[in-house]
Structures are given as C-alpha cells and as structure tokens.
Chains A and B, each alone.
Chain A
Amino acid sequence: MQGWYPIFKRELAGYFVTPVAYIFIVIFLLLAGVFTFQLGGLFERGQADLRPFFDFLPWLYLFLIPAVSMRLWAEERRGGTIELLLTLPVSQWGAVLGKFLAAWAFTGLSLVLTFPLWITVNYLGQPDNGVIVGSYVGGLLMAGGFLAIGSCVSAATKSQVIAFVISLMICLGFLLAGFSPVLDFFKGWAPSWIIDAISSFSFLSRFEGLGKGVVSLRDLVFFVSLIGVFLYAAGIVIEMKKAE
C-alpha cells in the first residue's frame, strides 16, 4: 500500500483546484433538494423522516458517481501521467487505493453536506435518528461500491465518455439485480441458485435493509468485499493495459 496517502491527498485536492468539485456538489445538493421536496413531497407526507431523500439517492448516485469515477484512471492514461505515477516509488495497490479513497472521501463530503435535511426533519418532528444514520452509512457504502466499479472501468479505457457509460450500465445492473428486468433476463435458462446469487447482489435491497436502521454485518461485508473485488480487478486491468 506504499504511497497511498500522498496520492490520496493529491487527488482530493485535485477535485478542488478545478471547478469539478464545486459543480458536482452544487448539482448533487440541488437534485437532492428537488427530489426530496418536490418529487418526494417531504412536507406533504407529514412524516418526520428522510425516506424521500434516501429513496432517490441510489438513482442520483447512478448518474453522478460514474461522472466522478470516469476520470480516475482514464485521465491518467490519456495524459501519460500513469507512467509517471507508477514509476514513482508507490505500489500499484497504493495508487489504486489512494485514488479510490480520495473519490470516496469526496462523495462522502457531498453526502455530509445534505445535513440541512436532517436538521429540517429534526426541527419539524422527532425522526428516528438511528434509521437516518443507518441510511447515511448505506448511502456511503453504496457510493463506495459504485466508485470501485467505476475505478475498474476507468482503468480499462482512455476515454472518459466510454468509462462513464459503461460504469453507468454496470451500476444499473447491480442496482436492479434483485428486480424483474434483470432477473427475467436470466429466468428460464439459468439455474435457480444463479438467480438467487444475482438477486443477492442487488444494491437496492441491501440499501433498503440499511435504511431500516439495521446496519447488519452481512450488508457491511457485502459492500466492503464488493469494493475489494472491484479494486483488485482495477489493479489487474491497469497492469494489463499499461502497454497500450
């Protein structure tokens, strides 16, 4: 893991030297507000909870997270800086982890910035804050999962557009894994244990589980190992694609 910390710092600072970070945060908060108040009807529901926000969060992340992850490696490869980075005394895993953690910290920060919503519901009523904390943890884990997928895809291409579109498709697959559009595709020809396995990959069901305020070890292990697997795959892809 040698060298991950300077890379983490550089990447994180990198979001804020360019307008990327500000645009992302503003759009994220704006959409979060629109979804929560307009479409979700936070006030009209008459319930002091953040369900409208967390119901829309996966869909918001589906589009915004690939936009963050698409540049992680594709940009390095296009600019040739990958050669510079990987000939500095850092281990490949250090580089993969440093970049991923920076992106995760950044999306985490934007998630934290939705705290006025939390203040609002606490001002208006007595929400179950355990549920809200669980949902925030779930949101953060989901963001990590999407970012790990995005890292891996970004490592495979020089084109950020391709990285964006493909990550979005894979993330959509994971999001809907437990639902009919994905399961119907496998039904009829795949054995039932495969279908069960696929449906257990569903981000949405996992996230809903966490949203009930139960941070179960199983869901935690699921997200952490998913992140691990995709980051490991990212390292392999980087090694394979270096020569191009």
Chain B
Amino acid sequence: MIELNSLTKRFGSPSTGILAVDGVTLKVDKGEVLGFLGPNGAGKSTTMKMVTGFLTPTSGSARVCGHDVVKDPIAVKERIGYLPEGAPAYPDMTPESFLDFCAQVRKMGDRAQTRIDQVVERVQLSGVLRQPIETLSKGFKRRVGLAQAILHDPDVLILDEPTDGLDPNQKHEVRSLIREMAGQKAIVLSTHILEEVEAVCTRAIIIARGRVIADGTPLQLAARSRVHNAVTIAVRGADKDHLVSELKRITGVRDVDHARQDDGLCRATAIAKHGHTIAGEVGSLVKARGWGLEELRVEHGRLDEVFREITQSK
C-alpha cells in the first residue's frame, strides 16, 4: 500500500545542503505494522512528511494505494490518516469542532456524525468534547490527534511518535488501539522506544543518516545482537577459570563473558557464534562435569543493543 522508491530529500543547496533522506526504498503492505526506528535527526519524520505530501521529495517517488504523492497529492491525502509529531491541533477549537472540521474537509457528508461518535468512543474523548483543546492534558491532545487520523477510516495510517511523552497507561492505550486496527490497514509508526516495536510492530526498520540500515521482524533484528542465543549459566562446584576454558571448547561458542565467582557459585555467559545454538551443549557439559546447575538462561538478543551497534558504527 505504500511504495517508496529511492525517496530522497535534500534541504538547502545541492552542494552544501543537508541530505536528510538518502534513497529510501521500501514497501509496506496491508496488515503490516512497520516500526520506524532511528536516532534523532535520522530522517524518520522527513520521510513521513514526504509520504503524507507535506514535503516535496527532491528525487525518487512515493506511492500510496497506487497514487503518486507528487502527481496526485489529494488522492494520497484522502487515503492517509496522519498524526504529525506532537499531535498539533488548533488550540482554540474544541475536539468536537475540530473533528467536525476534519470531517468537512474530508467531505464525509452524512456519515460524518456517526464516524465522529465512533472515534470519540474509541479514543475515549467524550468527557472533554466541548473543552478548548489548549486546556487539555497531553494525553487528551494526543487522543484528539489520533481521533483525527482515524476519522475517515484510512487504509494507511502514519503516526509520528504516537506515544512520545505519554504516561505508561496512556502508552498502553495507544498501543492497544494500534494493535486493534492492525490487520485492515498498513500502519507506519516512528518511535524511540524499542519495547514498543516489540509490543506492536510486525516489522522494524532502522534508519540512520537518511538510509535504511536494517529491515526485518523485531525478532530478526534482535537476532543480529551479539548476545543472540547466548547462554548464561550459574553452577556450583566449578572453578571459574576451568568453567571458562571448558565453555570455550564447545564448537558453537565464540566467547565467554561476565565470568565471576562468588562463594561457591560460578557464573558465565557463553556467546554463540552466528547461527549456532549452544544451550544443549552447555547443558551436557554441566552434566558431564557433575556441576550443580543453579541457572541456565538463553538470551534472545536485545533490540536496543542492535540499535546502538548499527546506528553508531561506520
């Protein structure tokens, strides 16, 4: 539903300007919830602003539901629900008049009122419908922005940091809302919060310096972590150095970290070579040496570590 082809945005002059987005090519299908990750200034928001037709690409193309965003911006905008960063809304309007305005611009006609009632219920805005938006709390303002984005039941939903600055309960609400809507839509959301990606996204993209540098399911990305499939054990009756050397002799083990001994308990983390699982071997080793096993834990890899590694390298 979203197709980006070498999408590029340069701010300023061709020689001295800043290349904010550098040839991003990707496709998002219906049913996908795509998490857009990247450090601040990586080009996430700029990419979203081009897809939604706010900024004009310097080169490359963006198509939404088959419509080119430069050639037919209105058709694209009709099919997108967009929550800009910080959920801007007219401060002196009430949520009611604001949603009514959006419905009129979107020419919703007779079905406007029923849809407004539905989304108001869905994002729980009914208590503040007639208060000026400027008097609302951050959480309610965000809900107003979300209500506006889903008002016309768009095929494509683009959310720029939808949970930024919300408290844990509000974050949870927004995430459940996104999960509810996934399936019938293509959803793209940007975030800094990696647990969010694991919680709601079916696919994650890491972008840095304007380029896509990783693309996969959250699990696949986590698997790029150094500690993916690593095994942490705690055993009794072993000597620290002996444990380390024994672990290192297992063929799938690349390295051993965090070896330490307190009282009779000896701990170590065996890092697996890429593509190897070592839990079985480590278990047999412990059994064969007759050590008393206190703990054995397999790591799946951590997204934040992968994120740091690949966004800071190069």
Contacts and interface: CB of A to CB of B under 8 A. Distances in A.
A102 to B, nearest CB: 13
A6 interface: yes
Interface size class of B (residues with CB under 8 A): 20 to 34
A187 interface: no
B188 to A, nearest CB: 14
Interface string A65-85: 000000000000001110110
A89 B104 contact: no
B106 A81 contact: no
B291 interface: no
Given A80-B86, A83-B88, A89 B52 contact: no
B89 A81 contact: yes
Given A86-B54, A243-B55, A2 B101 contact: no
Given A6-B104, A7-B105, A91-B74, A84 B92 contact: no
B153 interface: no
Given A14-B90, A80-B85, 20 more contacts: A3-B105, A6-B104, A10-B93, A14-B93, A79-B91, A80-B84, A81-B88, A84-B84, A84-B88, A84-B148, A86-B54, A87-B82, A88-B77, A88-B105, A88-B106, A89-B77, A90-B105, A239-B56, A242-B55, A243-B11
Interface of B: 11, 49, 52-56, 73-74, 77-78, 80, 82, 84-86, 88-93, 97, 101-102, 104-107, 148
The 5 residue pairs across chains A and B that have the minimum distance between CB atoms: A80-B88, A6-B104, A89-B77, A83-B84, A87-B52
Contacts of A23: none
B46 to A, nearest CB: 8
Interface of A: 2-3, 6-7, 9-10, 13-14, 17-18, 79-81, 83-84, 86-91, 239, 242-243
Contacts of A7: 105
Contacts of A239: 56
Nearest to B160: A83
A239 B52 CA distance: 15
Given A2-B74, A81-B90, A87 B105 contact: no
Contact of A14 (B56, B92, B104): B92
B96 to A, nearest CB: 12
22 contacts: A3-B105, A6-B101, A6-B104, A6-B105, A10-B101, A14-B90, A80-B84, A80-B88, A83-B49, A83-B54, A83-B84, A84-B84, A86-B53, A87-B82, A89-B74, A89-B78, A89-B105, A89-B107, A90-B77, A242-B54, A242-B55, A243-B55
A7 B102 CA distance: 10
Interface centre among A9, A18, A81, A83 (most CB of B within 10 A): A83
B78 A87 contact: no
Scoring B53, B54, B148 by chain A CB atoms within 10 A of each residue's CB, the highest score goes to B54
Contacts of A83: 49, 54, 84, 88
A179 B91 CA distance: 43
Nearest to B94: A17
A239 B53 CA distance: 11
A88 B151 CA distance: 12
A81 B77 CA distance: 16
Given A80-B84, A242-B54, A88 B102 contact: yes
Contacts of A6: 101, 104-105
Contacts of B80: 87
